[in-house]
Amino acid sequence: MTSVSAEFHSRFLRSFAARGTYGDCTNPTGLDALFESEPVTAYIGFDCTAPSLHVGHALQIMTLRRLQQAGHRPIVVLGGGTTKVGDPSFRNEARPLLSESQIEANKRAILKTFQNFLIFGEGPTDAVMVDNAEWLDHLEYIPFLREIGRHFSLGRMLSMESVKAKLDADLPFSFLEFNYTIMQAYDFLELYRRYGCRLQASGSDQWGNIVNGIDLARRVENVQLFGLTTPLITTASGAKMGKTASGAVWLNSDMRSPYEYWQFWRNTEDADVGRFLRMFTDLQEDEIGRLERLQGVELNQSKKILATEATALCHGRKSASEAAETARRTFEEGVIAAGLPTFDISRDELISGIAVASLAHLAGLTSSTSEARRYIDGRGLRVNDATLTDTKARAGLLDVTSDGVIKLSLGRKKHVLVRPV
């Protein structure tokens, strides 16, 4: 256990800290005592800005899972209301405003993400899912200003780190965005009134918003609420967790296949294996300790276990096992495994032929055609396991294998099956 975990008595906070996920707390002693005395209802909010959450949200979802495992009740708040404003925290540009139909479609797509992580139901520790549009959409402007707005000090809001960063950089900051922190604070108050929610958890970037919610509840309801954050997760090399050359690591299988998700975790840096096993899997400390002590080639086995366990939580055990088997067959047997990601292309395009560099970009192997050409120059791109040397090489129907696909490979670990339709 870490030195931080030794400071706590409650099961949840001791485990939370021991797994390296404790960032900060508004009142650590008080929250520890609350966890010791009763089941605690806690929430985390997720705005609906895209049709899927991404791996950057995984630690927050795991926080809700840890709460439930420790006998507490998690609330998933989908931001159908707050998404209409957009969270400006530590962003150089305002989020694009989405239509109500876009927000609703994103919300429906995101819902399924939580089914493998949490148990929903009517029991005392069963998870609850709500949309903050239920209360935010029906607020009347002047009554809201009178009841809620009067409790917010303009000076204090301007002193928030997320606001100061934008103002100091002379970046645009609209009145619409300025209202986001008030809306999130009101969420906390409303969740306390409706569900007895005492805790908001989040990433460290939401600290100012959490504090405002706690202060609002104290002023309006004379109640003590709490905030808990996780630290910003970076890799051992200093990169932000989840940032990849191919873009966001989405959690929904229709935006990133279970195999690709498995590969993301399989590619974890050596120094991060133990840390990520603690944060993103349910494995116990003795097993994690054994796995992170492995060295050299043996450490690859730990990475495979991390990949399978993290994928099982997100996509289910069956999909995780299939992804692991696909990887084994692809890398160890050199065969075209059915579980690889696929990209459909018109048969007519293959009749006339298409530049392999363009095809690699369209299939998602590279971020641009020029990047694909650079990989070809470096002997890093293959067609049906044959290394390309000509940046102008084209693929056609003659390249379709007996399996009915063209296999594109970037390096050893990234593969796509191009399927003519």
Q: What is the pLDDT of residues 277-311, one digit of tens each?
A: 999 999 999 999 999 999 988 999 999 999 999 99
Report the CATH number at residue 65: 3.40.50.620
Do 218 and 103 lie in one domain? The reply is yes
Domain assignment of residue 67, yes or no: yes
In a domain, 247, yes or no: no
pLDDT band at 2 (very low <50, low <70, confident <90, very high): very low
Domain of 276, in residue numbers: 258-333
Q: Are residue 123 and residue 183 in the same domain, yes or no?
A: yes
Q: Label the pairing between strands 406-410 and 381-383.
A: antiparallel
pLDDT of residue 5: 66
Domain co-membership, 352 together with 291: no
Asked if residue 245 has pLDDT above 60, the reply is no
Least confident stretch, 151-160, 308-317, 367-376, 382-391: 151-160
| pLDDT score of 105 | 96
- pTM > 0.85: yes or no: no
pLDDT, residue 290, reads: 96
Q: What is the pLDDT of residue 269?
A: 92
Q: What is the mean pLDDT of residues 180-186?
A: 91
Do 378 and 327 belong to one domain? no
Q: Is residue 235 part of a domain?
A: no
Over residues 164-179, mean pLDDT: 74
Q: Does residue 81 sit in the same domain as residue 101?
A: yes
- Of 333, 364, 399, at which residue does a domain stop? 333
Alpha helix (H) ranges present in 353-396? 356-362, 369-377
**3-state DSSP assignment of residue 377:** helix
pLDDT over 50 at 219, yes or no: yes
Q: Are 81 and 44 in contact (CB under 8 A)?
A: no
How many domains in the chain? 3
Residue 55 located in a structural domain:
yes
Residues 168 and 61 in one domain: yes
- Does residue 253 belong to any structural domain of this protein? no
Over residues 346-364, the mean pLDDT reads 85
Average pLDDT taken over every residue of the chain = 88
Residues 34 and 145 both lie in one domain: yes
**Does pLDDT of 149 surpass 60?**
yes
Is residue 251 a part of any domain in this protein? no
Q: What is the CATH number of the domain that holds 390?
A: 3.10.290.10
The reply to whether 299 and 165 lie within a common domain is no
Confidence of residue 74 (pLDDT cuts 50, 70, 90): very high
Is 46 or 390 the better-scoring residue by pLDDT? 46
Mean pLDDT of 214-225: 97
283 occurs within a structural domain: yes
Same domain? For 353 and 315 the reply is no
Q: Which long-range contacts (CB under 8 A, 24 or more apart) does 160-167 make?
A: 160/208, 160/212, 161/207, 161/208, 162/88, 162/89, 162/90, 162/205, 162/208, 163/88, 163/208, 165/90, 166/88, 166/91, 166/92
| Position 1 confidence tier, pLDDT thresholds 50, 70, 90 | very low
Pair (93, 187) in one structural domain = yes
